[in-house]
Structures are given as C-alpha cells and as structure tokens.
C-alpha cells in the first residue's frame, strides 16, 4: 500500500504542477530534492512571482524511522517506528479576488519493535480561503468536493465538510480560516471499509483538486483590484499564518519529526500584515466575508 500510494502522489504532483504552470502562463516550478537524515526524503516544487501565482508549493515526501518522543505522547504509544508519505500544496495568487487554496493527501503506518505493522490510515482534504466572497466560487468548490465524496458514500460529504469547518478554525479569533471544503483523518479499515476503499476515496479527492480550483483561479486572476483590496488580502493572510503556526497538525508533525523546515513553511505567504485591532467598514465586502467566516454555512 505505501509504495502504491507514493507512486500515486508522485504522479499527482506532476499533474497538478503542469496544470498550475499552464494557468499561470509565466513562472515555472523549481524542483528541490531533499533527504531526511533519520530516513526518507521528498521532492518540493515551488513557484514564485508568476503572472498569476505570487507563491505556491506542491510538495511530496516519504519519511520513516523511530517515532520521536513528542509524537509518541501525541499518539499515546510507546517506542514504535513509523512511515508517512503525502502530498501537500498551498497556492497564494497575486490578485486579492482570487482565493488561496490548500490540499493534502497522506498515508501513515506504524510498526512495533519487531517491525510488524500495527496500524495504518489515510488522511487528507482540500479547502478554499477567499479574501473576497464570490458565492458561486464557494458553491463550485463544494460541488466538486461533494461529487468526489458521493462516488464512495452518501454520508461522506456532510461528515467531512463538517470536520473541515471544525478543523480549519482559528479558535483564538472565533472565525474559520476560509469557506472550507473537506477534511478527514485516521481513515482505517473497519467492518464497512477496507484499506483499499480508503485508498480509493483519498485518491478520488486528490484527483478532484484541479477541477475544484483551476476554474475559480481562471475566473478571478485578471479582475481589477485596488491597493485597499491588496491590504485586506495581506491582513487576511495574517490569519492564515496564525492558523498554520498555532493549530495545524501537519505543520506541527513536520517540526516535531525533524522535517525539512523550508518545505514545511512553504505554505506561508510572501507578504502579510498584522494591523492592530483592525475592523472592516460596516456593510463592506470585507465585512461580508467576515460574517461568513464566523458562521460557516452550507454551500450545496
């Protein structure tokens, strides 16, 4: 399973980076191959200062070795080894009218001291973070999420949409990071689903990314915007940074397992602002977005 899934994410990285380069029409991804001294490594692909994409990354990795003490406590296990592989991407467009997007798909195995596999699971999802609210964009994104889920189980979309709204939430701000999407973790084999079923679902979600996001980026990338729009984008990017550094499990796992710092922090935007006690004008487009983020809604 681990070799099958790693082959899948290698191919998915290739497909997604080609689609994003075509949409940008200017910049190309730079590839960075790296190794982790404890075991494993990865292939980071970064794009910067393009016609459309200000900064983005589509990274894959496969790492293994003894599970660090800090993560043993997190998983409530003793001395074990682990294997983890996945693809993670974040795209920050230049135009404030175009949303930031994040997607991830991952697979994890755990082994006892005799090298026997004692656990395995899948995780992943995708979510949209707009700076200005276009309701049709949110609907399109969620329609693609639901389409992927419905191929596997009628309850998946509502379940994983709710988990996304709960997970990508800045508790200290009492607001969501964006308009959500899907989030799932610890998808294991059980009496209903085999591990192959979990693989099939996770890869369907991964395959849905291009159709979920590229049409939105294409529609918004050339819209007019003002310096004030750009300032709002950078203030909202600050909330994105706060979530990733305070709450995000993937970031924390990477830091605690001696992951590659440049690849872990590729999700951070290049320009950002923290304005003291900032509040948008009453009745403005900026306030409209905040109202949605404080009260997540159903889009489909």
Q: Which residues are designated catalytic?
A: 102
Task: Please state, as a whole number, how many other Cβ atoms lie within 10 Å of the Cβ of residue 197.
Answer: 16
Q: State residue 102 phi and psi, 5-degree precision.
A: -135, 140
- Strand partners of residue 121: 108
Q: Which residues contact residue 202 at a Cβ distance below 8 angstroms, ignoring those fewer than 6 apart?
A: 5, 105, 107, 122, 123, 124, 187
Residue 278 DSSP class:
-
Going by the DSSP 8-state scheme, the letter that residue 257 receives in this structure is: T
Q: What whole-number distance in Å separates Cα of residue 104 and Cα of residue 179?
A: 16
Q: Calculate the CA 1 to chain-centre distance.
A: 22
Q: Please, what is the Cα angle at 87 between 219 and 263, to 5 degrees?
A: 95
Contact yes or no for 175/107 (Cβ under 8 A): no
């Amino acid at each position: 399973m681990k070799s099958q899934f790693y082959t899948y994410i290698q191919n998915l990285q290739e497909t997604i980076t080609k689609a994003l380069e075509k949409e940008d029409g200017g910049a190309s991804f730079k590839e960075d191959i790296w190794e982790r001294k404890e075991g494993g490594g990865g292939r980071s692909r970064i794009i910067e200062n393009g016609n459309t994409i200000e900064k983005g990354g589509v990274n894959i990795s496969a790492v293994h070795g003894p599970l660090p003490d800090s993560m043993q406590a997190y998983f409530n296990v003793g001395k074990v080894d682990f294997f983890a592989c996945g693809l993670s991407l974040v795209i920050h467009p230049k135009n404030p009218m175009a949303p930031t997007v994040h997607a991830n798909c991952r697979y994890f195995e755990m082994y006892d001291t005799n090298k026997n596999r004692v656990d395995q699971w899948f995780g992943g999802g995708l979510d949209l973070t707009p700076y200005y609210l276009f309701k049709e964009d949110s609907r399109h994104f969620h329609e693609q999420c639901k389409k992927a889920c419905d191929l596997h189980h009628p309850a998946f979309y509502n379940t994983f949409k709710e988990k996304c709204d709960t997970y990508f939430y800045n508790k200290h701000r009492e607001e969501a990071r964006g308009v959500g999407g899907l989030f799932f973790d610890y998808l294991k084999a059980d009496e209903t689903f085999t591990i192959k079923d979990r693989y099939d679902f996770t890869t369907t979600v991964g395959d849905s990314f291009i159709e979920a996001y590229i049409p939105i980026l294409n529609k918004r990338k050339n819209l007019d915007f003002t310096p004030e729009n750009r300032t709002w984008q950078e203030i909202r990017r600050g909330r994105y940074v706060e979530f990733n550094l305070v709450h995000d499990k993937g970031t924390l796992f990477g830091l605690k397992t001696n992951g590659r710092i440049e690849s872990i922090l590729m999700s951070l935007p290049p320009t950002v602002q923290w304005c003291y006690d900032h509040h948008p004008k009453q009745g403005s487009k900026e306030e409209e977005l905040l109202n949605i983020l404080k009260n997540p809604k159903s889009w489909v």
